[in-house]
Structure 1
């Protein structure tokens, strides 16, 4: 498989729509490259450009109303409980504000050209987008990238005809901004997201070779200042953007940033960008092949043509490799140390009010965004999540007290950059498990890297606060309920499904939803394990808190198998689902990402989990790209490779957009795409059950292949090769601190493990 196949996305035409444009990003500064010839547009984003500001939206009636809401739910009076909760618990206003675009950089050829031999591409290996075309005998080339080293987007226009570039340049935004001249070769944009949102600036510095730049403040189209480039051979644009979110003088910061980049020069900026990017990207590689003759074997088919072949039913392992590399590129481009986490759309958004506010959705989406990051060998890209979680502790503690009269801290099903932790949108927002689910990512980071300082100083304080909240929040179910004497969440619901109560009423609000129990078991168990680890060097560390957790875990209700469906029961009571085809598989959290339900320790529940998914399909499963990837991960954990492959193929055929963003309910999203590589990695190696299993769920379509640089829990790094479905060789590199774990191979055959000191070799006999 050559570079053209696995690392180059390319198209024969300019993008006409946003979902055809190609993303570039440096963690916080993003662009969408349309690649037009006579009119070239790069839509721009900076991660902190959000409307709104922090507001205490907590409903101060909540804690007082909570005992009555709980009484009603335990009594089965769902409608009355929902009505009271809607009034007394849901925030006002019900929504927070949206992530917004910076604006559009528009570069127009003032002399229209007729072009041929057009190619627009994104080089995933170097993180550089480019456009090439011809006009008669003149060759034109353009490059675009976003540098983390120099904190600029750099764009380079070249042609081989002397004095061949005549351009007009504008930086514009549809609202709440003013175009300005920053200097003799720099145009800018200054604005604010509404009355209380961030104030921001963007700057474009234009450097010509053998040409001139003229900024014209008199020739305006509305509020636009136009820069004219005349008779240039080459033109370089340096774009910077900043806001006052982090307290800086954003206008001056932009001016200084583009000035420094221009003094450094395009070629050095480009060289440093690629070197920095490849330091992340080159850690990992993957090859997949069926061994057949019908695979994508050359670079003559464009990415869109290739995607259409996939949509028509072609199962091509090479496309999965391209998609893996693309999602790695998106992760590195949207989540760097020191930045905010990648949101629902990464850092790329062209709408003033984005779908779902382009927020941090914590009832699966943000988590799925980071599922593969550790195995991908991109641990640093995980750190923005941890930094962001720390900013939520203070507002989350306030919400815990106001809404539940509880200690610790809480986050509900969605949040933003302002630390919004209240109950938003509707009673569907009364789901106080977001922080608990997110905090398992802290422990995952530890398990892959074994950094005890991180565990002690960052992970444990956050996890302890979440567990403290849950211990205060849970209540004992009374006699007459489905689980008398058990500790349950009340109120509770199973995101985002509805049920039919015995009286025929439709509800979402209840007590003891299975997912809540699984999350509490998961994070409680994690907390106990951390206490045990930290106790090694500090005897008796937090012993009383450990005892309190263990006592509570013993009182959790068991996960049940539904007598009605044979699947995992979704609620404490065996309700009928209002949407049996519902996209969420909330009750299967215990299979993935948790490990409460496995084929080894709970085979009956594992088989019931299979039944749960089968039943959804039988009812015409309402799958979206992200939900199918969750299902693929579950199938991988349950050692059903062909079912996992079926889910992935469904995503590729029905939920991938022109530029390979994922389609979610008719809207493009970026973060949700990361569930796909998570599933692929889970199919190739697993390490969640205190053992390493190689090729546990290898489908027939990937009979031959290799993976190098894959991280595993316990401090291992894996290089692995296989042929005809059988492992040929695996090398596991040991870190300075490694947890000893048994190794076995899921594929048939006899293998031996050789310890070479710093490595473990697994060879076929």
Structure 2
């Protein structure tokens, strides 16, 4: 491919001292995470573990009147104060439930570094910090092992002997307060009521045990070794008491054994895992910013999303280290955040990370059934839209935190896994079951109106009108309706594929009784049947049917094209004043659906330049105060990163309505200068590689993951289509201007 496939840049450099945890070098292995930052006095390793949670419920969530029917009664009576006190206020009034950070390791060198160089090697997932002191220098290397679950640190240098210190979170106020305490809630960790950590050490090991005000106990254990003059190594584990009666002793033995193995020997298997992961797909672009950030997003995904590990909450495995609860308590938000966090992984050919989320949701079916019964008085399943690790409600704005509709968005992860993997057993045994059980809950509250069309009793659209009474929209909001049309439409398609004829007929009949999406005279998707979007808003929830649900297609007919154009035009007129970072990423995906490469790229470039920290983390707001938007905080959440990568992938490859399109939304500069991608995964059942240069597609290579038949948009003429039929494992390559059998 010559100059198109240039050397992949997998280094992320941060010059100078890193002074904040949310600008640190991130490491992770799905279960544990580490942020490396500081100047040598100390150099900090902020540690996290995905399943560290205080899951004590707020008392209101277990009260007898914590029910959907009670919420309906209060909404219909217009009793806003009672709505807030029964379903909302306790989210910020109580510190629990909440995600917990684990603590810190600190290496002190007795002096601040005069100069610091920080580099994250995304090939090997190793953080490198070089510190220059007035009397010497050292290099500190660190990684969270991809296979054995432990953390490794190596210090090599002269004139700078390190001293290790363990630092537990400030549950009893031991740590110093940082100067900047801005947070979503500013609830101090001390409010959780935990005792001080208990520290201990042996000849080789140091550890602390943190007991809590509930069943959880956890520990950080570190083995220290002076390997030779000028070289020190540390191995650490984060263990908790759900790992057996002798959990602490087991962790000590693991750390001691790994310490004997050593940093470099353990690095071999760690590197092999990341080599395999990085080879799953790639994108090569003439724009270094886009290519670099796409790779960083894949790195973050590989670090935080793993099969068999807890799924990513708002901050993944990098919970805030600042003496207060993490933003929004680090919870699981199903009105956007969890879904967006897994958007890009499917097409990026990283199915294992998405499978971890799907398995987690499947295993929560007992809790989802209980919540559907207790809260919604319904059969089937439904999870709280703002929830803990174990699937329990946290409360919060009830029109979203307790929306009946968000469960349908969770279904899309099952749909994506089945379509991208082609696993027919998964379709039969899990996807169809999860969809059907979700439908059972929806049908409890779907009732025909005067026109015979099915409507929900309550309806909303995240996060329109915030938590005011006006947020209860006339049913059905386009958000709720798009999800309902998606749910029952996909159920019909699945039943047909599985040969379930009676089920197919039932789902088709229900689908036919759903209203059409509400569209105003300007051709814009409305918020609800009687309200259009009239102000800038962060959540493009009314446009769900364009993306990610893709119920509307720009290529299908003129009416749908008019709706997509009108909706995007409406968003343009309202401006970006009340957007957050993920709004730009989502908007880029909408432009990609329109085939507008310039618009898609502009919004991605804006996102990466202005809403991401120096380490790549999405910080939500216009934290540099550039005037792009009205919000100027910096709450870190991962979903914007993943949504941006997903939008970029939609620019280069689209797979909708049985049609595969190569480079459907590319800016002119990229077309001229050349770009390519390798092994992106299509939900039509093929791996796709392709290249373009001088505005011409040079080749398209297809590898069938299952028996497939689809239409390929002719790479030389976008008005024509080529019918492709492949058996599982077959390959086909189109080189301008013809196909070549492989």
TM class, shorter-length: 0.7 to 0.9
1:308-319 equivalences in 2 (<5 Å): 317-319=287-289
1:320 has 2:320 as partner: no
Pair 728,102 (structure 1): closer, same or farther in 2 beyond 3 Å: same
Which SS does the other structure have where 1:731 is aligned? strand
Instruction: After TM superposition, give the deviation of residue 66 of structure 1 in Å.
Output: 5.8
Structure 1 residues 206 and 3, CA, compared in 2 at 3 Å: closer, same or farther? farther
Q: Is the contact made by 1:209 and 1:235 (CA closer than 8 Å) also made in structure 2?
A: yes
Q: Which residue number corresponds to residue 682 of structure 1?
A: 650
Partner of 1:186: 205
| Aligned match of 2:379 | 407
Q: Is it true that 1:633 corresponds to 2:605 in the alignment?
A: no
1:728 paired with 2:728, answer: no
Alpha carbons 1:428, 1:508 under 8 Å: kept: no
Matched, 1:660 2:616: yes
**TM-fit CA distance, 1:280:** 1.0
SS of the equivalent of 2:678 reads: strand
CA contact (8 A) 2:58 2:394 kept: no
Deviation per residue, 1:289-316 (Å, 9 max, x gap):
1xxxxxxxxxxxxxxxxxxxxxxxxxxx
Taking structure 1 as reference, are residues 327 and 114 closer, same or farther at Cα in structure 2, changes over 3 Å only? closer
User: 1:150-169: CA deviations, max 9, x gaps?
Assistant: 2111000012x4x8625343
Q: Which secondary structure does the structure 2 equivalent of 1:664 belong to?
A: coil
Assess if the C-alpha contact under 8 Å between 2:105 and 2:164 holds in 1: no
Tell me how far apart the structure 2 counterparts of residues 135 and 583 of structure 1 sit (CA, whole Å): 46
Matched, 1:741 2:710: yes
SS in 1 for 2:615: coil
Alignment match, 1:760: 732
Q: What residue is the counterpart of 2:524 in the other structure? A: 567
Shift of 1:401: 1.8
How far apart, in 1, do the equivalents of 2:356 and 2:266 lie?
25
Match for residue 465 of structure 2?
Answer: 498
Report the 3-state secondary structure (helix = DSSP H, G, I; strand = E; otherwise coil) of the residue aligned with 1:188.
Answer: strand
Matches of 2:565 and 2:84, distance apart in 1 = 35
Residues 71-118 of structure 1: per-residue CA shift (max 9 Å, x gap): x98xxxx662766755776697687522111111111113x37645x4
SS in 2 for 1:741: strand
Of residues 527, 530, 535, the one that matches 1:580 is 535
Distance 1:195 1:606, change over 3 A: farther
Matches within 5 A, 1:601-616: 601-616=556-571
Q: 1:745 to 1:584 in 2, by over 3 A?
A: farther
Q: Is the 8 A contact 2:581 2:618 kept in 1?
A: yes
Q: Structure 1 residues 245 and 91 mapped into 2: Cα distance closer, same or farther (>3 Å)?
A: farther
Cα offset for 1:548?
2.8
Q: Tell me the residue number matched to 2:105.
A: 105
Distance in 1 (alpha carbons) for counterparts of 2:422 and 2:542 = 30
Deviation, 1:506, is 3.8
Q: Following the alignment from structure 1 to structure 2, what is the Cα–Cα distance between the partners of residues 424 and 499?
A: 11
C-alpha distance in 1 between matches for 2:514 and 2:243: 43
What stretches of structure 1 of length at least 5 have no aligned partner? 211-231, 290-316, 536-540
The answer to whether the 8 Å contact 1:52/1:198 transfers is no
CA contact (8 A) 1:517 1:557 kept: yes
Which residue of 2 is the match for residue 195 of structure 1?
Answer: 213
> Quick one: distance in 2 between partners of 1:145 and 1:126?
9
Distance in structure 1 (CA, Å) of the matches to 2:278 and 2:408 = 30
The alpha-carbon deviation at position 255 of structure 1 amounts to 0.9
Distance in 2, Cα, partners of 1:61 & 1:752: 59
Shift of 1:417: 0.4
CA distance in 2 between partners of 1:753 and 1:49 (Å): 51
- CA deviations 1:9-48 (Å, max 9, x no partner) are 1122121112221100011111001152342111110111
| Change over 3 Å in CA distance of 1:327–1:166 after alignment to 2 | closer
C-alpha distance in 2 between matches for 1:464 and 1:37 = 56
- Which ranges of structure 2 fall in alignment gaps of 5 or more residues? 172-193, 622-632, 738-742
- What is the CA distance between 1:527 and its match in structure 2? 1.9
CA distance in 1 between counterparts of 2:420 and 2:400 reads: 34
TM-score w.r.t. the length of structure 2 is 0.86
Change (3 A) 1:237 1:169: same
Partner residue of 1:520? 484
Structure 2 Cα separation of the partners of residues 64 and 126 of structure 1: 49
TM-score under structure 1 length normalisation: 0.84
* Residues 130 and 137 in structure 2, CA contact (< 8 A), matched pair in contact too: yes
Residues 13 and 248 of structure 1: is their aligned pair in 2 closer, same or farther, counting only changes over 3 Å? farther
Task: Give 1:454's match in structure 2, choosing from 405, 426, 430.
Answer: 426
Asked if structure 1 preserves the Cα contact closer than 8 Å seen for 2:703 and 2:731, the reply is: yes
Asked if the contact 1:31–1:42 (Cα under 8 Å) also holds between the matched residues in 2, the reply is yes
Residue 213 of structure 1 is matched in structure 2 by none
- Asked if structure 1 preserves the Cα contact closer than 8 Å seen for 2:57 and 2:394, the reply is no
Change (3 A) 1:165 1:464: same
- Indicate conservation of the 8 Å contact 1:698/1:725, yes or no: no
SS at match of 1:277: helix
Q: Provide, for residues 447-469 of structure 1, a one-character-per-residue CA deviation record: whole Å limited to 9, x for no partner.
A: 11111122222222222211111
- Contact kept? 2:420, 2:683, Cα under 8 Å: yes
Match of residue 163 from structure 2 = 167
How many pairs were matched up?
688
